[in-house]
Amino acid sequence: MQTLIKLYYKNVTADVIGPEHGITTELLNHLAEKTKPLIEQLNEHRKQGKTPYRDLPYDEKTPVKIRKLAAELKDRCENFVVLGIGGSALGNIALQTALNPYMNNLDDKQRKGARLFVFDNVDPDQLGSFLEWTSDRLDKTVFNVISKSGETAETASQFLIVRQMLLDRLGPDGFKKQIIATTDSSGGTLRRIVDETGLVSLEVPQGVGGRFSVLSSVGLLSAAVCGIDIDDLLAGARDMDKRVSDTDFFKNPAAINAAIHYHYYNHGKRSSVMMPYCHALKDFADWYRQLWAESLGKAQDLDGNEVHIGPTPIKALGTTDQHSQVQLYREGPNDKIFSFLEVENFGTKLKIGPAPDSAPQLGYLAGADLGKLLNSEKQATEYALLVNKRPCLTVLFPQVNANSIGQFIYLFEVTTSFVGALFNINTYDQPAVELGKKATFGLMGREGFEEIAGQIRPFTKIDEYYLV
């Protein structure tokens, strides 16, 4: 069902927060002039195949393959386990939190598909506890190891642990039956293992970086197996594609969103807070954090100048973080822009009960819908920030459903492309992450990484003088 999400930007204007911090009409027109050629440029890049993530919602083959696989797993998979990290996990987590009930994993009646567990860390206590629980249910548990490069140490180590457990408990055939690998189509260690062992596999599309891959087989398989309507999700992304391709700046929510963030970054507001007022959207703030940080935090621009650029994305949750962060947000430095996510209609109506006679002061809550309280708190917090001249944007969701989530994903992916274009940087690489990966290989003794291991060693040795 289509429900159009909208970006509301009045509360960044000078009319609302004054000329010192707000954007005047003249300035907005100037931003429109600057951004307009970039809309055309991004549309052109997309036509030239330079941004393949833009075409994921139009890929007809992958959803067919995924639906088929999900149908095959239906009767034999009670627990679906994603082993991945970064872009190979955050989208999966966000989709699940957004589109399945809060008690999904615990309540058989509420659950529409398999339980989902996503492991995006290498904490032995965490994984150990899970493996203990799952060891009696291995034949009903399917592991989806996701790694585009097929080389990431965290995912590789999880895979090797699970592989050994499956081989020991279920033998080679059982191992093959319980594992699905999602990786690059041609290269990498994981693809080699797939080819050698004949594992069932899906492909991470060429040229699509992890953080832009949620609408590919990376995010779609776990979604489908857990009962999420992937067709609606992709339809929502296609709907948004039309809007974010519009060369009229004032009709293009991604261009406006990006231009506003670009302006504020250049005017001392270098942190960008995403604050959903909806539990279901909370992990999309996490997803956004990675998308923004890895895409926009860069040392060099495209002309080779040293720029060390990038807004710091911060996640917060309403109302929870009103009681944790808002003091700082209102009275601390005016160095942030806020993006609220607001939902008009929650799926559940929950009426607040009557106040006891002894507490008539609670009577104002009695009979009200809990969703109304949540939205009132959002409006109240936004008002409080506006009084202190803090710029606020809101993404309005008529409802949270697969279609609106597809729109949201696409909106923020393309916004990221626009901000990257405005900063004149490479939005799609992550050289700084790669160095950390290589350093880990060195520390873990991987052949070929001895040099970097030698460089790290002095930093890892504890100097007792500084130990108190």
**437 in active site:** yes
For residue 166, the SS3 value is helix
- Quote the least distance from Cβ 442 to ligand PA5, whole Å: 17
Q: Which 82-121 residues touch ligand PA5, going by CB under 6 A?
A: 85-88
Query: Which region, judged by CB under 6 A, interacts with ligand PA5, from 123-131, 209-217, 335-343, 387-395?
Result: 209-217
Q: Which 154-173 residues touch ligand PA5, going by CB under 6 A?
A: 155
Tell me how far the alpha carbon of residue 236 is from its chain's centroid: 16
Per the listing, tokens 């000329």 go with 19
Contact in structure between 93 and 103 (CB atoms under 8 Å):
no
Secondary structure (DSSP) of 380-395: HHHHHHHHTT--EEEE
Nearer to ligand PA5, 104 or 144 (CB): 144
Alpha helices in 277-401 (DSSP H): 282-296, 326-331, 370-387
Query: Which region, judged by CB under 6 A, interacts with ligand PA5, from 33-41, 73-81, 161-169, 205-213?
Result: 205-213
For residue 7, the SS3 value is strand
The active-site residue out of 109, 242, 308, 323 is: 323
Sign of CA dihedral 184, 186, 191, 194: positive
- Quote the least distance from Cβ 118 to ligand PA5, whole Å: 13
- Quote the least distance from Cβ 38 to ligand PA5, whole Å: 22
Nearer to ligand PA5, 210 or 311 (CB): 210
Q: Which 418-447 residues touch ligand PA5, going by CB under 6 A?
A: 430, 433
Q: Which 373-392 residues touch ligand PA5, going by CB under 6 A?
A: none
Burial of 42 per CB tally in 10 Å (0-12, 13-18, 19+): buried
Give which of 183, 182, 179, 159 is closest to 171, Cα–Cα: 179
Per the listing, tokens 């009979």 go with 367
Nearer to ligand PA5, 289 or 336 (CB): 289
Query: Which region, judged by CB under 6 A, interacts with ligand PA5, from 74-82, 147-155, 356-364, 409-417?
Result: 147-155
From CA 163, how far away is CA 200, in angstroms rounded?
Answer: 14
The residues near 364 (Cβ < 8 Å, ≥ 6 apart) are: none
The residues near 72 (Cβ < 8 Å, ≥ 6 apart) are: none
Q: Which 22-51 residues touch ligand PA5, going by CB under 6 A?
A: none
Q: Which two tokens stand for residue 87?
A: 């872009």
* 149 touches ligand PA5 (CB under 6 A): yes
Residue among 209, 318, 391, 442 that touches ligand PA5 (CB under 6 A): 209
Cis omega (within 30 of 0) for bond into 134? no
Residue among 100, 134, 152, 394 that touches ligand PA5 (CB under 6 A): 152
- Quote the least distance from Cβ 161 to ligand PA5, whole Å: 16
Nearer to ligand PA5, 88 or 407 (CB): 88
Q: Which residues bind ligand PA5 (CB under 6 A)?
A: 85-88, 147-149, 152, 155, 209-211, 294, 430, 433
The residues that are catalytic are 294, 323, 437
